[in-house]
Structure 1
Amino acid sequence: MLNDLQQRKMAHLFALLDVDDDGAVDKMDYTASADRLVNAFGFAPGSTESRRVRERYARLWDEVTLPMDVNGDERVDLGEFTAGFDRFVTQPEEGYRTHVAPVADAFYDLMDTDGDGRITRTEYLRMAGSAFRMSEADGLIAFERLDLDANGSLSRQELHLANEQFFRSPDAHAHGNWLFGPLPPRI
């Protein structure tokens, strides 16, 4: 069962993923997010990079998000989303590695535009703004919190650690809580 912090993280991510702000996440939201991401990095719609990101998003939709849909309307509301992430990603030991890590790897490969094996602040901000509609200020805060060795870039290991902490950790002090920027205040 998710604690208050984990529920807030899921609600925050849900709001970022609900591209059309209709109170539900559906396959179109995932497709739109993938398309914005590849466009922001300058890849053509039919490129290898574009296909890879879209395939990973589609897999995440088909294998994780769609099965969260309790009423069969192919739309996932916040309650279904939160319960589903708990069931598929947070609780199972291999949940992150099975379902989220492949998407994170596709993001990493796409963001690393210069191929140096590191994600710069600029590359991270481009991803955060395009795929998740994060403000530049929130993206900067997130980047600074995730750059554990303060070297001005994120390694693949740092990004995976942040992702896994975001999706699985109940610890309020985990750096990965900042993956998608500051969490909104408690209501």
Structure 2
Amino acid sequence: MLNDLQLRKMAHLFALLDVDDDQVIDKMDYTASADRLVNAFGFAPGSAESQRVRERYARLWDEVTLPMDADGDERVDLTEFTAGFDRFVTQPEEGYSRHIAPVADAFYDLMDTDGDGRITRTEYLRMAGSAFRMSEANSLLAFGHLDLDGNGSLSTEELHAATEQFFRSPEADAHGNWLFGPLPSRA
């Protein structure tokens, strides 16, 4: 069972993924996010990079989000989203490594535009703003909390630790709670 913090994290991520703000996530939301990411990173339409982004978003929809659709309407509301993450990611020990780690690796590869094996502040801000509609201010706050060694970039290990904490940790002081910027206050 998710605690209040975990429910707030899921609601926050849901709002960021719901591109058209219609209170459901569907394949169109993922297509629109992929298109924004392709544009933000300047990938040419039809390029290998563009195809890779679109394929990874389609995989995320097909393998992670669509299975959360309890009523079969190919749309996932907040209740289904939260229950799905609890069932597929938070509760099972292998949930993160099976469902989220491959997606995190894909985002890491996309963000690392210079191929140096590290995500710079600029690369993170570009991804956060385009893929998750985060403001620059919130992206900067998030990056500051995720860059544990303060070297101005994120390693694969830092990103995975933060991502797993976001999806699995019930602890209020987990640095991964900042992955998608500051959480909204309780309603």
C-alpha separation between the residues in 1 aligned to 2:13 and 2:7? Answer: 10
Counterpart position of 1:56: 56
Structure 1 residue runs of 5 or longer lacking an equivalent are: none
Counterpart position of 2:126: 126
Output the amino acid matched with 2:16: L
Give deviations 1:136-156, integer Å, cap 9, x for gaps.
000000000000000010011
C-alpha separation between the residues in 2 aligned to 1:91 and 1:39? Answer: 36
CA contact (8 A) 1:53 1:103 kept: no
Aligned length in residues: 187
Counterpart position of 1:108: 108
1:184, CA displacement in angstroms?
A: 0.1
TM-score (norm 1): 0.97
1:51, CA displacement in angstroms?
A: 2.1
Structure 1 stretches of 4+ moved >3 Å = none
Structure 2 residue runs of 5 or longer lacking an equivalent are: none
Tell which deviates more after alignment, 1-10 or 110-119. Answer: 110-119
Counterparts of 1:1-187 in structure 2, within 5 Å, are: 1-187=1-187
CA contact (8 A) 1:16 1:133 kept: yes
Tell which deviates more after alignment, 77-86 or 53-62. Answer: 53-62
CA contact (8 A) 1:38 1:110 kept: no
TM-score (norm 2): 0.97
1:46, CA displacement in angstroms?
A: 2.0
- Give the aligned CA root-mean-square deviation in angstroms: 1.0
Give deviations 1:48-98, integer Å, cap 9, x for gaps.
222222222212211221111111111000000000011111111111111
CA contact (8 A) 1:89 1:96 kept: yes
1:30, CA displacement in angstroms?
A: 0.9
Match of 1:76, SS?
Answer: strand
